[in-house]
Structure 1
Amino acid sequence: MPDKDVSLATRVEITKKYAEAYEAASKKDKSRILDKVVEITGWNRDHARQQLRRRLRQPPGRATATVAVIDRRKNPGSKYSYDCLKILQRVWAVAGGICGKYLAASMVDWLDAMEATGDLVYGQDRYSQHVRDELLTISAATIDRHLKPLRDQDPIRGKSATKPGALLRNSISVRKAGDEIEAEPGFFEVDTVAHCGPTLKGEFARTVNFTDMYTGWVFTTAIRNNSQTHIVSAFEKFLEAVPFMVTGIDSDNGSEFINHEVLGWSAQKKIFYTRSRPYQKNDQATIESKNNHLVRRYGFYYRYDTPHQRELLNQLWPLVCDRLNYYTPTKKPIGYTTDAVGRRKRVYDKPLSPYHRLLAAGVLSPAQEAELAAYKASLNVVEIARKITSIQHRLIENAKEPTRRLERELEYAAAAAMPDAEWIKIDQRRARSA
């Protein structure tokens, strides 16, 4: 058995003593030397072998070592310049904090747009042709690694406000997860997101969110509540804002969508209307994803129940939609494959922005394409980012403290209604933990 009292300095001297003999020994003798070193030092064979080999690499004439050779991975330093990483942070902030895979795929668009607005100028503020070349070659994983310290914490969570609407449900076609994907733009999924904070009581704003299944094109607007009048008004705004023909809409089973007003509107506009299955989130996976990284990411989880807060939301959503539609890539599922152990795995296409997907679909006339291209060229992405940040700060200032206060009131009410036996159990748990 190895001596547990062998000091680190003794282990160092032992590796120095046996290192040269180990290097010159045959395979059989190397095994014997390793056995001896392991027996004396208590190391495992792999570590003992590393120490013997690395001891020989020490510079000649070095003073007597007093510590063991530490096995560390070599770090050659960053491949990218400091200027490149600083500009990367600026581009990422303007892009809305998107992931590395999407940022790498759209880097050319963001750099061109920021150069056009004068935010990036060669020879100023660390930006140069060399930095641009570095940014165009940086990988998605490297982007995520360098930007990880800058990512924000998730805000408070919200609640689900979907209530099934039995009226007319059986007369609407059901669209399920796994159904054939639409072959051209125009079929949208729609959902509402409740800005209720910690409770569904009272009146609060809702955001109506539309997403095209084929291109990922989004339209978002805030309404006062879930009444049929406001929902139909949001549908009208959506139809006017989308730059291509809307052929169909798919909703969940909420009563705000399954009613005579909405179905009468879709029939009048000759828009095919379908619904998902009750309690099956996967049937609307696209819009559920957008609810998270569009509405919740930009609008947070606070309670918005005043006209001023609703007005701020409606100033925010057009800016967010422009940035997502014209510059932010998305990826779409195109099939399945198997991984190394035979498990089924989703396959996605190359990330592209909804704007580029729409152009590639070939459904627009040359005049429409020119109009969209001119509108994209008129967008100042740096100004959009600045306005988004400003509106978000104003939303937080207006809603954060009232939402926290409402949370505390609910906690106090729940505590007051708690039976004495429950309080006794809580006190006992606190005493045990102390």
Structure 2
Amino acid sequence: MNIIMNIKQLRTLKQVAEFLAGAAPLGMSPPTQTERYRWIAQTLRHFRYETLAKADKGLVIAYLCRISGYSRQQITRLIRRTLDQGHLRWQVIPRRGFVARYTDEDVRLLAEIDTLHDTPSGPAVKKLCERAFGTFGDTRFERLSGISVSHLYNLRKTKDYRSRRLTHVKTAAVQRPIGIRRKPEPQGRPGFIRIDTVHQGDQDGLKGLYHINAVDEITQFEVLVTVERISEQFLIPALEALLASFPFVILGFHADNGSEYINRRVAELLEKLRIELTKSRARHCNDNALAESKNGAVVRKLLGYAHIPQRYASLVNRFNQEHLVPYINYHRPCFFPETFTDDQGKQRKRYRYKHMMTPYDKLKSLPKAETFLKKGVTFKHLDAIAFTISDNEAARRLQAARHQLFETIFGRKKAG
């Protein structure tokens, strides 16, 4: 029960201590908040609180807490206010401290404007309200003409507004990205291939066949597959055959952003084989540079730019598997880069003659190379392919097969 005490008997701090110990009971009478604040201020002045030692201040605080019923934190705040202001008064809180400035009618008008103008931005709505009142003299918008943009959005969150602006929107389909947009990180391991498509020309509105060129980043081991078209009907079986042609386990599959590779069917195939699918980043033209350089150095150099009709796709693909792929992997040397850091701290690549070798030799030179091979594939079997014939004999057979291929396609021999 709130009380006020007659403190005339408590003149000294000793008497206060005795009272707190329960040795000096005093008469009490119920106070009001104003009387309670006045009594606290009188007590502080009576004992000259600001001049007391720390222990005596604690005694006075305990006394005020006991009599007033306030917590120690509240008494501390009241003492600080008394010392700062020189007095302590009870401040009556108004019953309605924050009167709503905007009425339900304003919310209705806001909903009406948003409906008419298809929910424009906050600044646009504010300008419309200003024009409605100032330019066209509509007094209903007098209050809304002075509303702030931020508070306009607050009114849009009210229940009254939302009940007037019910809209039904169909659930939007979530588009999940296919593949990871980043550069592959093989870390010296074979099995991270770069893939690209080469189109063998158009003629009189007729499409030519397509080459699918895949190159391993570390060993430059390359597999070329030819198809009639790049639709799912031809592409999925071709990719399965391409992935099976590599002697080592495929871990990564990197392509540009072409839809022939970045689609659900290809993603499902790679997921089944536990192969990571990555795609080139925006404004990073070098992400797939290895495959694109091989397009020119191998595909265009050996097969040219001329239009080859789609009906010859199986014939060209047989030439690839029997002659072209063995030649470029086991008998055609290529440069391998050496990475170094320049004076500015930037990593650069240089190509030295001592690092020139065939892709197969590069594969064998890797540390623990046999651990990267597919199950059932051994270097003894691969050596039989690589060293059965010489490089010159492999090139001679390639040239003969190519001449025969072009004679079949074009009706004449194509110059080497």
State the TM-score, normalized to the length of structure 1: 0.48
Structure having the higher Rg? 2
Higher relative contact order (CA 8 A, sep 6+): 1
State the TM-score, normalized to the length of structure 2: 0.50
